[in-house]
Amino acid sequence: MPKGKVYLVGAGPGDPKLITVRGLEALKRSDAVVFDRLAGPQLLGQIPDSAERIYVGKRPDRHTMKQEDINQLLVDLALQGKTVCRLKGGDPTVFGRVGEEAELLKKNGISYEIIPGITSAIAVPAYAGIPVTHRDLASSFSVITGHESPDKLDRSIQWDKVTNATGTLVFLMGVAKIGYISEQLIKHGRPPSTPVALVRWGTRAEQETLTGTLEDIEEKVKAADFQPPAVIVVGNVVRQREELRWIEDKPLFGRRILVTRARSQASELSSRIDELGGEPYEFPVIETRMPERPDVIAAIRAALADAETYDWVLLTSVNGVEYFFRWLELCGIDIRRWHRAEFAAVGPATAAALKARGVIASPLPEKFRAEGLLDSLADRLKPGQRVLLPRGDLAREWLPEELRKLGLEAVEIDVYENALAAPKDRILLEMLEAGDIHAITFTSSSTVTNLLEALRRMGVDRPEETLRGIDIACIGPVTAKTAEEKGLRVAATAKTSTLEGLVQTLIELNAHRKK
Ligand code: SAH
């Protein structure tokens, strides 16, 4: 069997977008991924479903895997012919023991690549508004391990040299030794008033910063019970934070928010959350797909073949638009055959999807719930007119019924089906149980029912209980009602039923929480 290959990849400090392009490519093409806890959870979502995931970090129930065993594991996987990605927090060469791993690979004739990452030593201070160098304040920086016991620290660190270096000192793995570190720095000549910052879980939703001076930082760490992992920055650059802090002032900072909508639609919401300083976590519980039942397909074909007979085409969702056009393409029906029909769209996103295909929907309804649509068209809907409703199989019956009451002929076609997507995501489960998901967004009733079902399939008996305490935000009243009926407590419902309305709701919830 040909030997596989090992990519030793830096995952960056936690924000999933801080991996390199090359690193992400390696991750996506791997057959096995070996990772520990500093690799951000979202990145793990990029691992192909077919790939083996091997966690070698700390677990409450067992010891961390020894470095020698990890080295051997990489060799064994590669000898099985696998493409292996060894994903490490930050940069693999900065206290990442990549040397030992590469050495054993080399000994076994296995080829490898070292793909650098953004080290927490620089990125974590930057996310707290602290640049490690500054034209006037520091012309160098040192990255130092704080991991060892004091006597070992003394052997590996020449305190006098370190202390008298002009620049910024960055300690990794040093939280437990903060007292000893400050003591030594003062003893060797740094002024006790030198500013110090500790930044824990930098670049992630949990990011927290504590500042002080060499003199009082130990006390402050104890008083706040400040826990690792954290980067310690010592030097005058820390003062820059007051002026330069940035991400902490964004309206969704500190919030990890679950996005449940279909993968194809999730990105818009995720990027808004990201832009606003929050951390989106995508867990798509819906998949849309072409219908398979012969009677449904026959109905679609028949309806589309009658293009010229319709007065209206009413579209109620972006998916409806997409699949309507897919069917036109599949059946070879020219859009110009719909010249008699007027197109109407529920909501601006649906209208925009139509516009992108060269169809201007008119007029735009005032309200965005299906119920608002008819009011805005009321004077133009005439008895006897034919209305086509291309929609998903779960669409509510309200619209066609109302149209029929007005004396119109409503023809519904299920141009797509909603299916449950139930990815198994153990990391999500762990985060839910640990309270590390702070809010959940529901953009339709089926996202509610499907999330509960997906959790049940992952072995959660009472998913409503697991979701207690998490802020639940719904796009509109119908979705909120479904959530309440399923035993969830809705924290807020969007005032306008749009993605932007939902985002505003998230912002308000966060502002409220901070008060
Ligand atoms: N190779 C890594 C460092 C590994 S040593 C890198 O280049 O970043 C592990 C230490 O890194 C932790 O104890 C902590 O000091 C620091 N660290 C890594 N990620 C961090 C994060 N997101 N926030 C704060 N500290 C972090």
- DSSP for 232-257 reads EEESGGGGGHHHH--GGGSTTTT-EE
Residues 386 and 437 in one domain: no
Q: Tell me, what CATH number does 348's domain have? A: 3.40.50.10090
Average pLDDT over residues 202-213: 97
Which pLDDT score is estimated for 215?
97
Question: Which numbered atom of ligand 1 lies nearest the CA of 204?
Answer: 22
Residues 214 and 226 in one domain: yes
Which pLDDT tens digit goes with each residue over 367-377?
A: 545 556 677 77
Which pLDDT tens digit goes with each residue over 248-261?
A: 999 999 999 999 98
Number of domains the chain contains: 4
Average pLDDT over residues 431-435: 93
Which pLDDT tens digit goes with each residue over 124-183?
A: 999 999 999 999 999 999 999 988 777 777 777 888 888 777 799 999 999 999 999 999
Counting residues of the chain whose pLDDT is more than 70, the rounded percentage is 97
Residues 19 and 126 in one domain: no
Residues 337 and 384 in one domain: yes
In the predicted structure, residue 61 carries a pLDDT above the cut 70: no
* 391 in Cβ contact with 412 (< 8 Å): yes
Q: pLDDT grade, residue 422 (50/70/90)?
A: confident
Residues 300 and 405 in one domain: yes
Which pLDDT score is estimated for 424?
81
Residues 302 and 410 in one domain: yes
Residues 348 and 454 in one domain: no
Which pLDDT score is estimated for 364?
53
Mean predicted lDDT score pLDDT of the chain: 92
Sequence-distant (≥ 6) Cβ neighbours of residue 72 within 8 angstroms: 104
Residues 158 and 223 in one domain: yes
Cα–Cα distance for residue pair 388/476, rounded to 1 Å? 25
Closest CA to 115 of 8, 1, 249: 8
Backbone angles phi, psi at 407, to 5 degrees: 90, 15
Residues 52 and 107 in one domain: yes
Distance (angstroms) between ligand 1 centre and the Cα of 468 equals: 32
Please pick, among 58, 106, 187, 222, the residue that the annotation labels catalytic.
Answer: 58
Average pLDDT over residues 472-487: 96
Domain, as residue range, for 55: 5-118
Q: pLDDT grade, residue 57 (50/70/90)?
A: confident
Question: Which numbered atom of ligand 1 lies nearest the CA of 202?
Answer: 23
Q: pLDDT grade, residue 60 (50/70/90)?
A: low
The first and second tokens of residue 95, run together, are 């206290």
Which pLDDT score is estimated for 211?
98
The first and second tokens of residue 321, run together, are 């638009």
Residues 137 and 227 in one domain: yes
The first and second tokens of residue 302, run together, are 């028949």
What pTM was computed for the model?
A: 0.84
For the beta carbon of residue 451, count every other beta carbon within 10 angstroms: 25
More confident position, 381 or 81: 81
In the predicted structure, residue 395 carries a pLDDT above the cut 90: no
User: Is residue 66 among the annotated active site residues?
Assistant: no
Q: Which of 369, 390, 420 is the last residue of a domain?
A: 420
Distance (angstroms) between ligand 1 centre and the Cα of 160 equals: 25
Distance (angstroms) between ligand 1 centre and the Cα of 81 equals: 31
* 142 in Cβ contact with 169 (< 8 Å): yes
User: Is residue 58 among the annotated active site residues?
Assistant: yes
Among 101, 114, 120, 201, say which to mutate for ligand 1: greatest number of ligand atoms within 8 Å of CB. 120
Find tokens 């040093």 and name the residue: 174
Whether a cis peptide bond, with omega within 30° of 0, leads into 284 is no
10 Å CB burial of residue 207 (0-12, 13-18, 19+) is buried
Residues with CB under 6 A from ligand 1: 13-14, 38, 88-91, 94-96, 119-121, 124, 172-173, 199-204, 228-231
Average pLDDT over residues 7-32: 96
Q: In this predicted structure, which of 27-41, 65-79, 305-319 has the lowest mean pLDDT?
A: 27-41
What is the C-alpha end-to-end distance of the chain, expressed in Å? 62
95-103, long-range: CB < 8 A, 24+ apart: 95/145, 95/147, 95/172, 95/173, 96/10, 97/67, 98/8, 100/67, 100/71, 101/6, 101/8, 101/70, 101/71, 101/74, 102/8, 103/71
Q: pLDDT grade, residue 503 (50/70/90)?
A: very high
Which pLDDT score is estimated for 366?
46
Q: In this predicted structure, which of 299-303, 359-363, 389-393 has the lowest mean pLDDT?
A: 359-363
In the predicted structure, residue 340 carries a pLDDT above the cut 50: yes
In the predicted structure, residue 363 carries a pLDDT above the cut 90: no
Chain-centroid distance of CA 467 in Å reads 18
Q: Which of 118, 152, 185 is the last residue of a domain?
A: 118
- DSSP for 411-474 reads EEEEEEEEEE-----HHHHHHHHHT---EEEE-SHHHHHHHHHHHHHTT-S-HHHHTTTSEEEE
Average pLDDT over residues 221-233: 97
Distance (angstroms) between ligand 1 centre and the Cα of 38 equals: 7
Please pick, among 5, 15, 36, 471, the residue that the annotation labels catalytic.
Answer: 36
Which pLDDT tens digit goes with each residue over 69-124?
A: 999 999 999 999 999 999 999 999 999 999 999 999 999 999 999 999 999 999 99
The first and second tokens of residue 33, run together, are 């991924």
In the predicted structure, residue 266 carries a pLDDT above the cut 70: yes
Which pLDDT score is estimated for 372?
63
Average pLDDT over residues 265-292: 92
Residues 496 and 410 in one domain: no
Q: In this predicted structure, which of 37-41, 87-91, 362-366, 426-430 has the lowest mean pLDDT?
A: 362-366
Residues 146 and 231 in one domain: yes
Length of the chain measured in residues: 515
Which pLDDT score is estimated for 17?
93
Average pLDDT over residues 475-496: 96
Q: Tell me, what CATH number does 195's domain have? A: 3.30.950.10
Q: Which of 67, 89, 118 is the last residue of a domain?
A: 118
